[in-house]
Amino acid sequence: MAKPKVFVTRIVPEKGLSLVRDFCEADIWQDEMPPSRADLLARVRDVDGLLSLLTDKIDAELMDAAPRLKVISNMAVGVDNVDVAAATARRIPVGNTPGVLTDATADHAFALMLSAARRIVEGEKYVRAGKWITWHPQLLLGADFAGATLGIIGFGRIGQAVAKRAQGFDLHVIYHDPSARPAYGATPTDLGTLLRESDFISLHVPLTEQTRHMINAETLRKMKPNAILVNTARGPVVDSQALYIALKSKQIFAAALDVTEPEPLPVDSPLLELDNCLIVPHLGSASRQTRDEMSFLAAQNLIAGLKGERLPNCVNPQLYD
Ligand code: GLV
């Protein structure tokens, strides 16, 4: 019997790719850059399955260009790049890769929080610039963790894993997420209280119309002057222009961003002029083991969809009701 045809939009780790190759006739995009819109539309024309990444826009137009499409498997936990409602309307299951990236992303949020608090990147630049001429009692002073308050916005798997780590640092943890139960000693609160009381604020919400620009001029104004904002969620959760103004005017102490608006961040972005803004290129889940597991889970979702079985991780499970 002929193998099902699939398009894989980049070279993902071999652990997932070999599973895809075993079961499918796979067209794998070889470039470092993602396929252009025209390439994407052309390559999905006669496929049964699609393994996509967060850099690919998977919308109704694309689904209509792929009349045989039976499954969309996104190698990410976030699915804001996929029009899930359009997929559901076409009875196409959409898979994602939660769980396997929880620890890596929480570790990364913590790394960013520590780096911003203790000014690691500024210190490194200082040494390389040849400015380290003596130990000085006032040099690059940062913030303490013990006894400080960490506010977590979005208390799902990753937010909770951040709270778990925070216990070891003696942070007092509060969170805002109306749908989540308390865990790891964290106390629920409303958003206004969290913004006013937190020394560190870490974002762990998905990008939706409700969370787009939830950190804006107004919410930034409520934060403490020593606040450090960490974003490992999605760039557009933060209004970057408002953040620039708040950081430049020292309304808040610092930000550490794994994700930006837009992405990649243009090299002439004013945020890059600021010493109190640390930016890395969307590396939340970027550990070898985690990416292996993400590719494997994405391959399992893809193959289940091709077989007409329930996806191990499906974001529109109402299709199975
Ligand atoms: C990464 O950002 C993901 O959503 O997995």
The answer on 309 and 254 residing in a single domain is: no
Residues 224, 107 share a domain:
yes
The domain that holds 12 is classified in CATH as 3.40.50.720
Given 21, 196, 213, 263, the catalytic residue: 263
Note whether 140 and 259 are same-domain residues: yes
Mean pLDDT by 10 residues, the chain (321 residues): 96 98 98 98 98 98 98 98 98 98 98 98 98 98 98 98 98 98 98 98 98 98 98 98 98 98 97 98 98 98 98 97 89
pLDDT confidence of residue 22: 97
Residue 248 and residue 179 in one domain: yes
Q: What is the pLDDT of residue 180?
A: 98
Same domain for 242 and 166 = yes
Considering the domain architecture, whether residues 139 and 20 belong to the same structural domain is answered as no
Distance of alpha carbon 177 from alpha carbon 184, whole angstroms: 15
Pairwise CA distance, residues 61 & 54, whole Å: 17
pLDDT on residue 237: 98
Distance 117 CA to ligand 1 centre (A): 24
Residue 185 is predicted with a pLDDT of 97
Rounded to whole angstroms, how far apart are CA atoms 290 and 292? 5
Same domain, yes or no: 174 and 217: yes
What is the pLDDT, as a whole number, of residue 43?
A: 98
Ligand 1 within 6 A of CB of 78? yes
Would you say 285 and 294 are in contact if contact means Cβ atoms under 8 Å apart? yes
Give residue 128 CA to ligand 1 midpoint distance, Å.
Answer: 32
The one catalytic residue in 234, 261, 291, 293 is: 234
C-alpha 49/C-alpha 28 separation (Å) is 12
The residue segments making up the domain with residue 16 are 5-98+288-320
Same domain, 93 and 162: no
233 Cα–ligand 1 center, Å: 8
Whole-model pTM?
A: 0.97
CA 123 to chain centroid, in Å, comes to 26
State which ligand 1 atom lies nearest to the alpha carbon of 259.
2
Q: Which of 214, 133, 136 is nearest to 176 (CA)?
A: 214
| HEC letters along 116-144 | HHCCHHHHHHHHHCCCCCCCCCCCCCCCC
| Residue of 105, 158, 259 best suited for mutating to test ligand 1, as the one with most atoms within 8 Å of CB | 105
* Domain match, 149 and 265 both: yes
Residues 217 and 166 in one domain: yes
32 tagged catalytic = no
Q: Which of 176, 282, 291, 293 is catalytic?
A: 282
Whether residue 298 sits in one domain with residue 231: no
Three-state DSSP at 202 gives strand
Ligand 1: centre distance to CA 73 (Å): 13
Q: Tokens for 56, please give them.
A: 């690919």
How many domains are contained in the chain? 2
Residues 239 and 120 in one domain: yes
pLDDT at 1: 80
Give catalytic status of residue 234 as yes or no: yes
